[in-house]
Structures are given as C-alpha cells and as structure tokens.
Amino acid sequence: MKILYVHGYNGDPYGESYNNLKNQCGTKHELHTIDYDPNKPIDAIKIINKYVDEHKIELIIGASLGGFLTMNVFGVSRIVVNPCWNPAIELPKIGYTGNIDSYCEMLQGLKDNSDSEEYHLCLGVFSSGDELLGLKYVTEFKKYFNLQFIIDGPHRITSQMANTIINDILLKHEKEVSEYCAKLKAMNIL
C-alpha cells in the first residue's frame, strides 16, 4: 500500500514520527512524505491532493496540524493522529503568528461538507497522554469522523504508537472502508 505521511506544525517530514512509521511499514507498505508551509494551508491541501493523484496514494496518515490538513483532503482513506481540530485556537499557543482566517474557513468547511462517506474514510487516533491537545477535541471529532482508537502515548508518534497504527489500526480501517464501499456498490451508489 502507498501511504503518505503529513507532519505537524514545524515538524520535519523525515523526522522521528516519519521514521517510526517507516520502520513499521517495512516492505509491506511504501511510505511517502511531503513538506508544506503552515502559513499557506490552502496551498498545503493542493500539494497533498496533487501528490496523492500523481503517486497513487491509497492512504494518508496526518499528525497534529498535518492531521487537520489531512481531514481536509476528501475522497481518500485517511488516519489522523492527534489531529489539531482547531488550528486557529491551538497554533497561536505554540508560537504561530500567521493569519488564522484560512484555518477558520477550513474548519467550517469540514463541518459543512461532512457526510457518511467522509465519516468512514477518515479515522481518528488520539493519544491518552497527548501533552499538547489532550483529549479535548475527541467529542467534536466524533461528530464528523470515525473515531475508533484512543491509544497510550504522547503527542508525537512513538515507535510503539507507529506499531499500533500500522499493524492494528490500519488493518481494521482498511476492512471497514472495504465493507462500506461494498455496501455502497450493492446499493448501486458506487
């Protein structure tokens, strides 16, 4: 499977979280990554969409701010890890001084464009020990997307978390998406 990893705010596309995921992917999955400018979130979505199309990405894993951006990429299977549900509130707390208007518009767009298909395509994973966001956005996230897992770990993706995501959660998510798509085909919707 081809997987695209989208890092968080001020993260390194080839940093610790990426390497932890890559180690768990082994030869089973092909892990890609990109970089983006957090001051230009609309452009970031365009970059992600273009990469997904050009490289035939089957799954996106986004972490923190990358999770928020990943939630805004529609029509592809996604796993978001400790997603920053509301960047307009959270980013200034950690030093962001850019314009937050685009983030506000994107969050409203997520809420307005939520549907059953996107609910099933986007799965949330939250860490019980997340020192930045905690679990405060779990309830809001569950209104719009599929929440299946609260796992042990901090905000960043540790080796143990990567193992759980790639070897457990990914398999369950693939099965659920496959069953949902089969249901839509049986109803002549797909």
Residue listed under structure tokens 């395509």: 121
How many CB atoms sit inside 10 A of residue 65's CB? 27
The confidence score (pLDDT) of residue 67 equals: 97
CA–CA separation, 77 vs 74, rounded Å? Answer: 8
Distances (CA, A) of 113 to 10, 105, 108, 188: 28, 12, 9, 22
Q: Range with the lowest mean pLDDT among 17-31, 118-132, 169-183? A: 169-183
The confidence score (pLDDT) of residue 73 equals: 94
Q: Is the pLDDT of residue 80 over 70?
A: yes
Q: Is the pLDDT of residue 189 over 60?
A: no
Average pLDDT for residues 78-106, to the nearest whole number?
Answer: 95
| Burial group, residue 135, by CB count within 10 angstroms (0-12, 13-18, 19+) | middle
The confidence score (pLDDT) of residue 121 equals: 86
| Domains of the chain: residue spans and CATH | 2-186 (3.40.50.1820)
Which band of pLDDT confidence, cut at 50, 70 and 90, is reported for residue 14?
very high
pTM of the full predicted structure? 0.92
The confidence score (pLDDT) of residue 117 equals: 76
